[in-house]
């Protein structure tokens, strides 16, 4: 080996030794300074007094929409009017009644309208409430029923109604007959007319018939489903104010809604010598609707030409001013007309 070659070899060895030394020093420095030369700090250690989240929610996970309960429909005018003529509360409700109302209100607030109504109706049918307690409970049940019975929201578990899937060939009349209801009421609560019934659609139904109880002293008409008050299945629905016969001329007793005697836009044949008043005459006292009644019990037996109708004299509601028939406000008679079923709905008129 020449002298020049040996010099090159020694120089190469020196360079290797210097490189190794530099690498060693760098390694020792990093060991003593963990963060030096790092693009980002190391992950923090877990604290000993907290646990990691087991299932962290991804930032992209969509929010779950809160469940919605059926809204309570505001009480219509007829409820407020009926309540205004109930006896004023002489004392505070008893503890048991207060607890029932409180429990029912909690159910209402949480969307459990059927449970709330059942509690209140059981208390009402128990027959142990005072007049003022009855008025309070009826007002609350009536407001619930504006949603459960008369509103568009469907309640499949409602024992006094529920839902029905329209079958091919069905009609509103056929569906109504199967549920002891009127086709007008089925159409009203679903917002549909007979010409737009679609097979396969789920609609709301009512298990009728409706029954009416008229109190001559209070000038009220209470509506029920499932039976008359006192019957096990009876459920209070709502109340309307009525006008009655002058000089106490409306007979007490039980009446049946006559078959084929419910009329819209009826002609009036005056027994007072006024002649015939056409349906479209603003002087027609029937107010656009006539529900013929047939007496079956009590003083009503054998009575003819009595019925429930509207009026062109709204001030007569709450008074004795008719010729013996039962009068209702214009909006109220339209609703009652749709409720009562010919040949099945009974009307009880009591003192």
Closest CA to 184 of 327, 34, 335, 330: 335
Say whether the peptide bond before residue 209 is cis (omega within 30 degrees of 0).
Answer: yes
Residue tagged 């907290």 (tokens):
50
Which of the following is catalytic: 78, 179, 181, 325? 325
Which residues, listed in sequence order, are joined to residue 16 by a DSSP beta bridge?
none
Q: Residue 194 is encoded by which pair of tokens?
A: 């007979």
Which of the following is catalytic: 78, 179, 181, 309? 309
Residue 217: active-site member: no
Describe the chain by its helix, strand, coil percentages, rounded to 5: 35, 20, 45
Q: Coil, strand or helix: which one is 148?
A: helix
Which residues are CB-contacts of 64 (< 8 A; sequence separation ≥ 6)?
none
Residue 181: active-site member: no
Which residues are CB-contacts of 103 (< 8 A; sequence separation ≥ 6)?
116, 119
Residues identified as active-site: 309, 325
């Amino acid at each position: 080996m020449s002298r020049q070659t040996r010099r090159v070899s020694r120089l190469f060895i020196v360079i290797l030794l210097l490189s190794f030394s530099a690498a060693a020093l760098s390694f020792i420095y990093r060991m003593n300074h963990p963060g030096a030369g790092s693009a980002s700090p190391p992950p923090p250690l877990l604290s000993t007094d907290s646990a990691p989240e087991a299932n962290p929610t991804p930032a992209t996970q969509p929010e779950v929409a809160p469940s919605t309960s059926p809204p309570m429909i505001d009480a219509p005018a007829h409820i407020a009017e009926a309540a205004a003529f109930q006896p004023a509360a002489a004392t505070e409700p008893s503890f048991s009644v207060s607890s029932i109302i409180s429990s029912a209100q909690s159910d209402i607030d949480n969307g459990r309208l059927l449970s709330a109504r059942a509690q209140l109706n059981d208390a009402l049918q128990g027959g142990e409430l005072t007049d003022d307690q009855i008025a309070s409970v009826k007002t609350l049940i009536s407001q619930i029923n504006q949603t459960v019975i008369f509103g568009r929201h469907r309640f499949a578990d409602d024992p006094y109604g529920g839902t029905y899937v329209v079958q091919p060939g069905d009609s509103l009349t056929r569906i109504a007959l199967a549920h002891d209801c009127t086709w007008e009421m089925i159409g009203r609560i679903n917002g549909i007319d007979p010409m737009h019934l679609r097979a396969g659609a789920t609609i709301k139904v009512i298990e009728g018939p409706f029954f009416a109880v008229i109190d001559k002293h209070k000038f009220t008409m209470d509506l029920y489903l499932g039976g008359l008050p006192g019957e096990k299945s009876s459920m209070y629905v709502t109340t309307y104010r009525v006008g009655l016969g002058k000089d106490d001329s409306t007979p007490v007793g039980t009446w049946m809604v006559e078959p084929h005697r419910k009329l819209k836009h009826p002609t009036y044949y005056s027994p007072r010598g006024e002649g015939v008043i056409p349906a479209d005459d603003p002087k027609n006292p029937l107010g656009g609707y006539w529900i013929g009644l047939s007496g079956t019990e009590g003083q009503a037996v054998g009575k003819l030409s009595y019925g429930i109708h509207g009026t062109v004299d709204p001030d007569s509601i709450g008074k004795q001013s008719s010729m013996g028939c039962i009068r209702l406000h214009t909006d109220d008679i339209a609703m009652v007309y749709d409720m009562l079923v010919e040949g099945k709905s009974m009307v009880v008129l009591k003192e």
